[in-house]
Structure 1
Amino acid sequence: MKKRFLALAIASSLTLMACDSNTPASENSVNSETKQAEHPLIALHSATEKDVKAIAESLQVKYQVLTNIPSEQCNKDIADGLCFEAEIAFTATKAISAKDWRIHFSQISPIQSYESDQLSVKHLNGDLHLLTLKDNFTGFAQGETKRLRFRAQYWSLAESDAMPNYIVSADNSKAHVIESTKPYIDEETGLEMLSHVVAITDHEKQFKRNAKDKTQWLNSASLYQRNAEMFDSHKLALQPTIAKQIIPTPKSVTYRDNGATVDVAKGLKLDLGNVSQQGVDAALARLADLSVNISSAKDALPLVLNIAADDSKPIGSYHLSVTASGIAVEGVDETGVFNGLMSLASLVTLGSNSLPLLEVVDEPHYAFRGMLVDVARNFHSKAFILDLLDQMAAYKLNKLHLHLGDDEGWRLEIPSLPELTQIGAKRCFDTQEQNCLMPQLGAGVDENSSVNGYYSVADYQEILKAATARHIQVIPSLDMPGHSRSSVKAMTARYKKYQAQEDEAKAKQFLLDDFDDTTKYSSVQFYGDNTINVCLESSYDFVIEVMTQVKKIHAEAGQPLTRYHIGADETAGAWVDSPACKAFVANNDKGVTDMKELGAYFIERVAGILSDLDIETAGWSDGMEHTRKENMPAIVQANAWDALFWGGHSKVHGLANRDWQVVISSPDALYFDFPYEADPKEHGYYWASRQTNTEKVFQFMPDNLPVHAEFWFDRNENPYEADDTKTPLVSGTRFLGIQGQLWSENTRTDNTVEHKVFPRLLALAERAWHLADWAVPYNYQGAKYSQDTNAFTSEMQQQRDKQWRVFAQTLGQKEFAKLELANIDYRLPTVGAIIKAGKLHANIAFPGLTIEYQVADGQWQRYQGPVEVTGDVKVRSRSLNGNRAGRTTSVKQAG
């Protein structure tokens, strides 16, 4: 799931250490722009607090990817010799005569080797690196640049790979963030930017992953062509159609009286029937936000609610009727009534009081319609989560998977274990990690930064209550046994605290680490100390304590904890030299006879602990698949995240054939931290896909995973084959649902989260709720699929694209206005444009949004049709309310 592209490509369990290689004289220009002979004599002195602060304020840093083409200097023993080359340039705007200072910085993958005549660098842990000064360091003359050229494994294809907040420090001095590496917020887009990152411009060296990479850089011209093929040749008078649209699409809609409407300007007179006020308050509040109010006026339109239980229909099913004389919503349960009211809200077009007369009979395709948000790597505020819950409910998503614990942060207060949040919830600069974690992921030194933080019990219970009011289940996750560094370090700090008090029993009570373990390993994110020791009884005491507390917190908030996500991530190679584990395996009273069985044993045992607490177990597929079914509870949820082009459907089917509840979490379409489009300025990691736009999410057919080989490509944009003849689903087997994922390694602000989640969340909701009539039914006999097969027929594609056009225009002309009303910073699309015969032609993926253009750095103007232009031209989109702009792109002359 959260594995980076560089870790997934080739599993590596090596502990990586940087190599110090001397630079040939011919390469001196790489290292310093001032020749040694010409360097002014600088009397060096050990750095003081004043020096460190001055360096932080004046040193200019530039980070630049040079090439992704492996050279002979790449380490052939790591990642099959795949590596990229980059350079960090340090320029002194003021002379620096201090020595003995150092820089800590985050780098997406460990540096293998480097060249610099006066600087040294080594990988510490995770993505944290240390740059130090060599003994021959001569200081910086004013204006001098020293360069560090290095190689790191795999690739760096996006500008967002670089991390902010380089930290300069010295002995007996406070650490400071180098000003030139601090992020800033772009006033037009509202997104975080990094000024020290040099733009990627070279298609062959910087943009492509390797020689086989067929990915095309999506420029304004190619985007124009794509938009034109989808919309321009299908001119439709869609406004009346869009007014009738409900997202997600209902199972059945019948329109009355040839497009007749009813006016709701005078409000709705509510008759709750047998429905509780509490159960529908949130839906009524959304209607009110959209200017459809509950009224006591005599001429208000009646709104009658009713529950008519029907066990033959799925939970959440409903019947909505809009007539000239009134509106009726009937659900099979209270959730169904709530969903019916949300469909009524979906019919609303802002600025209009008219609703179409219709009848809706609707039910969900999947029981589990989820969204994961990772708040562990970088914290995201309670306000964001509450806003997200509003939008999830509006589009009938019903599961919020909150990823609350990982290597870089623990985000939930556990009152009996205060160290988890006192230490594990913040990153600052503490090399002993007794007061905070070290600043991985470019966190900086400020423990009060927005990337730090946690939900207090009161905060979390507010989230739970808001979710309950919106008929959403919160599924918490505190990852274990891997991805657990924050809890491991917090419990180590707890141990030291109580050891100092000479209370050894309390010190060891919840210890997660065997201090005598000399195992050298590297996790998928390059940590060598992030895994709970599964052979210590105190580790299980910790799990019991945490889960007992979390269950209590849920109960007090009125949303019982019925399902918990273990995470179930393991770390290959951990524990092998742990004395505790050697003794555990030798003892052999737990059925474990090999170190390789320890991870599965931990998951099985934790699942048993959860069962004893009456909590169902969920986990990620890669950890869960190693367990023995007979040792697992009867009900198990497995989130299947394997990439389809790597044959991921086979693992998914294997888990489903265990009779487990499988939640499809395929990264090909459902990882919302991935870039929307293939452009190095698009934000996000990309190990499975470099272009996951809203349309691709809309195209997803979760019931039939292998069929995507007919029209999707692998991560290098090459065709692939999916062979489903070996592990087809057992006849009649179905998946529990689907889930979108937002991982937060380089997602530091709430605005960036919203930019990544929206509008993809609306397409997620469409696929989770509605079974498209163009979807290819699953073939339980098994089949092979490729670009040469035709299970997904041209007629199906035409139907899909027709429905996408309506969906896209509904977003652009109706739903985006609602998102803006709720202050959701959804991603504004980049604009397609060409210049042909001296005229600018522009289009957009969501017709209805404003297009703007700029000629020769002049004023931005609204595009209303082909217009004559001369000189350099740029285009961008603008939000309906005018408050935000999309990313600016340059326009190319048509060939």
Structure 2
Amino acid sequence: MMKKNVFAALATAVFMLLGCDKSQAPSTQDVQPSETKMQQAHSLTQQQLDNIAASLQVTFVLVTNQAGDKCDKNKTDGLCFEAQFQLTANEDLPAAGWSIYYSQIAPLHNFDGELFNLEHLNGDLHRLTPTEKFTGINKGESETITFRASFWTLAESDIMPNMILSSPDLAPKVIESTKTGIDSETKMEVLKHVKSYSDYQHHFQRTPSDKTQWLTAEDFYQRNKVLGEKLLDVSKVIIPTPKNIVFPEPSGVLELSPGLTVDYGNVPSESVAAALHRLTLLGVEQATKGVKVKLSIVPDQKKMIGSYTLTALNTGIRITGVDEAGVFNGLQSLASLLTVNEPRIPYVSIQDEPLFEFRGLLVDVARNFRDKNFIIKLMDQMAAYKLNKLHLHMGEDEGWRLEIPGLPELTEVSSKRCFDVTEQKCLMPQLGAGVDENNKNNGFYSVDDYTEILKAATARHIQVLPSLDMPGHSRAAIKAMTARYNKYMQLEDKAKAEQYLLHDPNDITKYSSVQFYNDNTINACQESSYAFVEKVMTEVKKIHQAAGQPLTRYHIGADETAGAWLESPVCKAFIANNDKGVTDMKQLGAYFVERVANMISDMGIEPAAWSDGLEHTNKENMPAVVQANSWGHIPWGAHHVVNKFVNQNWQVVMSTPDVTYFDFPYEADPKEHGYYWASRHTNTEKVFQFMPQNLPVHAEFWLDRQDNTFSIDDTLQKDEQGNVINRPMKKGRNVLGIQGQLWSENVRTDNVAEYKIFPRLIALAERAWYEPEWVVPYNYQGAKYSPSTNAFTAEKETLRNEKWRVFANALGQKELPKLDLARVTYRLPTAGAQIKQGKLYANSAFPGLTIEYKEKNKNWITYQRPIAVSSDVAIRTSTQEGDRKSRITKVRFQP
């Protein structure tokens, strides 16, 4: 699912970059006929098609993001951007016999000219076809196609790669010029066919009221200056910060170079093996005559799971946990004290307990697959920073990623995207997937793979929460079960064909989902839909049980699709004849969620779901325990939903997009990767600033998605009849925890995935584990907040900024080098720099990082201190080993 559910209209959700095309798109099954008509006019040979795909130069050019008169006023409130496809023929392009399929997140508004026809097919899939007026393009010549599409495109990464040249009865080919490349220095994906966005008004600013700043190296330099010019001593810093930490006087240092001799006591060795392995990677190995480490478990019902105490003195180290997770966490704190290549720690005494029970990360492997090795490597780092929940999102419109015994079609058909208009062997290539079934973004976890992930999670004290989204965002499952239906109908086994069917074949409803699909919603009225859910959950539960991590919580997703089912005969009969209390089509979404939630609850599994899918359910019809992931945008009143669910005793996990959506850019720059419907810039400092227990107070110091101020009313509110609309949280209640989200629509490589997650994940872990002194306690009486109120006082702001300075230094000097050792491709920040009176001054968001500069036609030089230069300078940051660099920015010469 994606909490990109944001599009359904600006009122309910938002532009996921792009808005909601209300027009009805044809199904991909409707693709073939028009191609057949083309064939009548001209046909290509396979060699001709291959040559054209290899030689045709396609360039995407953004004209403007400012909505003009040519935008379709009936779509997305008349908001659109204007862009061009430039086609340059390096050998003759024939007049007919071909078409180009391409992915474009923003559905088409309209286009100019009569030579080509552009059309939105389904989801993000579009098609470009020459018309009868097109006479071809001679070698060396070009044609430009101007079109408009929904909302805006503010990041170059919005544009999807792998445009596909197709002709009937021939093997389709990806147009070579639209394939991705990899930058050899940043290791990031490059979209070679996208012309750089360079104009502030037309490329960067989305509306005249958009005040977002396009920061320069000089701007970053001024921002980084608050961190100071000297490195701080971070030898005593532990991330996440312990609840209570004391460094005894006189101070001392415990040398760990001899290694560690571990006395496990009553602690099973396998429960801490992963933590000890991390210490080994950091240069502290186990040894027979090393520093003594005594481990023990002493249960304490008053302490939260994962709590521990740690003492390190000249006599050795002692770690006591309330459970196995607590001992594990204590060892991770020991590792946190270490600096790479410095095997020693200060004498210390720690009493520690997590702030939140739920400290999680969602990884969307459904849109673009990440294999088991990526997931296990990621869990190593989650455990290092004491995160304990992995929300593994494995079922979506664009892919199904988990083998389900007895339902082979789910992975045989829906784990891969290629080019099959019937979608009987694979899904059509949404999200720029191309035509290669063996592409790394295709794939699934076999039962053995998933079992391995579960066992690795258990060893790291992480609970895996599987998610296979339903009833919306379910196209992959629907298409797989359609293929199953067709297979068994051919075998004349109607009962088996219909056993797990997820759609009504006679449904003629015209709808568009929040991501522009017209066929992605499980039918809530037929029993086969619930038989499918029961079958899937039974098998997933078996896998968890066999792997030693019982399935106790499952994320339904629970997205519903407005307008689905309206013309389904099955649903009309269900409404007319049912005894379930459903009297209106609008109630079907809630009915589905309630029924599935109770079904899995009866299986001993607690339901979790997204807040929008839960809002329409009746609490009395739901199980006693419900997890609600709140993903509302803060300026649009997200606190109201949080308050509602907390007040009805549901377990709320903060999944706030403004700050926890790691698919969003770190900074507002067209070169920065990511979607941005709720935030143009979500850097590590912003995550550090988050107060998950008090959403409303952020109105005092954060801005909305266009960098304008906003206000929040968190007081008791009633309508004209005196009915309560909104109320503050009840005294003493609060949220269960916090979760980061990596949605993967345009995350096609492991490197990009890690870039988006790190180092923001470390700041998320800090906020999940530790409540600092500068937070503003929630006001249970209710209050109003804006930039003119002062709940977040100047004193609190000063303290927060001081703590950020320490945290940023710890990242630069200690934690990022540890990520280097683990071969994690974290984001290197763009360097800050200015040239003043002929001298270059440079700094970094994370003090301690290597900075490099280069004058024109000269070599890169490591920056040490202010230095004289004589021209404009290119500047970047680098890993300590120099094997990876940040994006380069330029600094203007000032004599």
Q: Please, what TM-score do these two structures have when normalized by structure 2? A: 0.95
Indicate whether 1:231 and 2:231 are aligned.
no
C-alpha distance in structure 2 between counterparts of 1:363 and 1:129, whole Å:
52
- Separation in 2 of the partners of 1:227 and 1:894? 20
1:762-781 deviation line (CA, Å, top 9, x unaligned): 00000000001100000000
Provide the rounded CA distance (Å) in 2 between the counterparts of 1:733 and 1:265: 47
Choose the corresponding residue for 1:255, options 244, 247, 252: 247
Counterpart among 275, 300, 325 of residue 283 in structure 1 = 275
Correspondence for 1:9: 10
What is the deviation of 1:95? 1.5
Which sections of structure 2, spanning at least 5 residues, go unmatched?
Answer: 13-19, 27-40, 717-726
Q: Which amino acid in the other structure matches residue 626 of structure 1?
A: H
Deviation of the 1:10 alpha carbon: 4.8
Where 2:809 maps in the other structure, the secondary structure is: helix
**Contact 2:25–2:518 under 8 Å retained in 1:** no
Q: Do the aligned residues in 1 keep the contact of 2:84 with 2:146 (CA within 8 Å)?
A: yes
Q: CA deviation at 1:3?
A: 1.1
Indicate conservation of the 8 Å contact 1:607/1:633, yes or no. Answer: yes
Correspondence for 2:680: 690
Match of residue 324, structure 2, among 295, 310, 334: 334
Distance in 2 of aligned mates of 1:353 and 1:91: 59
1:22 maps to what in 2?
none
Match for 1:77 among 74, 77, 80? 74
Give, in whole Å, the separation in 1 of the partners of 2:893 and 2:364.
42
Partner of 1:831: 831
* Partner of residue 719, structure 2: none
Q: Paired residue for 1:659? A: 649
* Count of equivalent residues: 864
- Matching residue of 1:595: 585
**TM-fit CA distance, 1:260:** 1.3
Q: Counterpart of 1:144? A: 141
Partner of 1:806: 806
Q: Residues 742 and 894 from structure 1, CA distance in 2 versus in 1: closer, same or farther, beyond 3 angstroms?
A: farther
TM-align CA RMSD:
1.4
Deviates more, 1:885-894 or 1:762-771: 885-894
- Could you report, residue by residue, the CA deviation over 1:721-773 in whole angstroms, capped at 9, with x for unpaired residues? 01100320011111100000000001111110000000000000000000011
Tell me how far 1:4 sits from its aligned partner. 6.3
Give the aligned residue type for 1:815.
E
Partner amino acid, structure 2, of 1:711: F
Higher mean C-alpha deviation, range 871-880 or range 180-189:
871-880
Q: 1:444 & 1:534 partners in 2: Cα distance?
A: 33
Give the Å deviation of 1:443: 0.2
Task: Give 1:2 deviation, angstroms.
Answer: 3.0
Question: In 1, are the aligned partners of 2:609 and 2:628 still within 8 Å (CA)?
Answer: yes
After TM superposition, give the deviation of residue 294 of structure 1 in Å.
1.4
Q: Is the 1:68–1:84 Cα contact (8 Å) retained in structure 2?
A: yes
Query: In structure 1, the residue corresponding to 2:394 is in which secondary structure?
Result: strand
Report whether the alignment pairs 1:382 with 2:383.
no
Question: Contact conserved, 2:80 with 2:149, CA < 8 A, in 1?
Answer: yes
2: CA distance between counterparts of 1:566 and 1:15? 29
Aligned with residue 524 of structure 2, among 507, 517, 534? 534
Show CA shifts across 1:833-869 (max 9, x none): 1121122211110011111111114211111122222
Q: Distance in 2 between matches of 1:81 and 1:524?
A: 17
- Asked whether the 8 Å contact 2:870–2:893 carries over to 1, the reply is no
SS in 2 for 1:397: coil
Report the 3-state secondary structure (helix = DSSP H, G, I; strand = E; otherwise coil) of the residue aligned with 2:272. Answer: helix
- What is the CA–CA distance in structure 2 between the aligned matches of 1:795 and 1:573, rounded to whole Å? 51
Rounded Cα–Cα distance in structure 2 between residues aligned with 1:628 and 1:495: 34
1:750 aligns with 2:755: no
Distance 1:17 1:147 in 2: 25
Amino acid at match of 1:231: L
Matched ranges for 1:41-120 at <5 A: 45-97=42-94, 99-120=96-117
Q: 1:2 is matched by which residue type in structure 2? A: K
Shift, 1:809, TM fit = 0.6
Q: Distance in 2 between matches of 1:117 and 1:75?
A: 18
Contact 1:851 1:863 in 2 (8 A): yes
Supply the distance in 2 between the matched residues of 1:754 and 1:407 (Cα, whole angstroms). 23
Counterparts in 2 of 1:482-881, with a 5 A limit? 482-726=472-716, 727-881=727-881
Amino acid at match of 1:3: K
1:243 to 214, 235, 240: 235
Q: Distance in 1 between matches of 2:190 and 2:445?
A: 27
Question: What amino acid is aligned across from residue 112 of structure 2 in structure 1?
Answer: E
Q: Deviations over 1:89-148 (max 9, x none)?
A: 110011123621000000111111001331111000000001111012211111111111
- What is the aligned-residue identity percentage? 59
Q: CA deviation at 1:8?
A: 5.7
What letter corresponds to residue 253 of structure 1 in structure 2? Answer: I
Amino acid at match of 2:67: P
Q: Which amino acid aligns with 2:776?
A: V
| CA contact 2:607–2:625 (8 Å) conserved in 1 | yes
TM-score (norm 1): 0.95
Mapping for residues 56-455 of structure 1, pairs under 5 Å: 56-97=53-94, 99-228=96-225, 230-232=226-228, 235=229, 238-239=232-233, 242-297=234-289, 300-455=290-445
Change (3 A) 1:382 1:857: farther
State the distance in 2 between where 1:894 and 1:156 align.
34
The one of 440, 456, 465 equivalent to 2:446 is 456
Runs of 4+ more than 6 Å apart: none
Q: Is the 8 A contact 1:349 1:814 kept in 2?
A: yes
Bigger mean CA offset, 597-606 vs 652-661: 652-661
Cα distance in 2 between the residues matched to 1:624 and 1:570? 10
CA distance in 2, matches of 1:13, 1:110: 6
Opposite residue 277 of structure 1, the aligned amino acid is S
Taking the aligned partners of 1:132 and 1:407, their CA distance within structure 2 comes to: 26
> Residue 562 of structure 1 aligns to which amino acid in structure 2?
T
8 Å contact from structure 1 (residues 521, 573) kept in 2: yes
Letter in 1 for 2:3: K
Q: Is the 8 A contact 1:189 1:884 kept in 2?
A: yes
Contact 1:13–1:523 at 8 Å: present in 2 too?
Answer: no
Number of the residue aligned with 1:41: none
Shift of 1:85: 0.6
CA distance in 2, matches of 1:330, 1:628: 44
Report the alpha carbon displacement of residue 870 of structure 1 after superposing the two structures with TM: 2.5
Partners in 1 of 2:841 and 2:334 — Cα distance? 38
Q: CA deviation at 1:13?
A: 7.1
Contact 2:9 2:76 survives alignment (8 Å): no
Shift of 1:226: 0.7
| 1:663-687 Cα shifts (integer Å, max 9, x gaps) | 0000111000000001010000000
Match of 2:32 in 1: none
CA offset at residue 893 of structure 1?
Answer: 4.2
What secondary structure, in the 3-state scheme, does the structure 1 residue paired with 2:411 have? helix
Report the secondary structure of 1:147's partner residue: strand
SS at match of 1:53: helix
Is the Cα contact below 8 Å between 1:652 and 1:662 reproduced in 2? Answer: yes
Deviation at 1:699, TM superposition (A): 0.2
What does the per-residue CA deviation read over 1:345-386, in whole Å, with 9 as the maximum and x for residues that have no partner? 111111112110010000000000000000000001211100
Which 5+ residue runs of structure 1 have no aligned equivalent? 19-43
Q: Distance in 1 between matches of 2:136 and 2:788?
A: 63
The answer as to whether partners of 2:873 and 2:893 remain within 8 angstroms in 1 is no
Distance 2:10 2:741 in 1: 20
Classify 1:5/1:202 alpha carbon distance in 2 versus 1 (closer, same or farther; 3 Å). farther
Sort the Cα spacing of 1:117 and 1:13 in 2 relative to 1 into closer, same or farther, 3 A.
Answer: closer
Q: Does 1:884 find its partner at 2:884?
A: yes
Cα pair 1:190 1:751 within 8 Å, conserved: yes
Residues in 1 aligned to 2:232 and 2:747: alpha-carbon distance in whole angstroms: 36
1:454 counterpart letter in structure 2: F
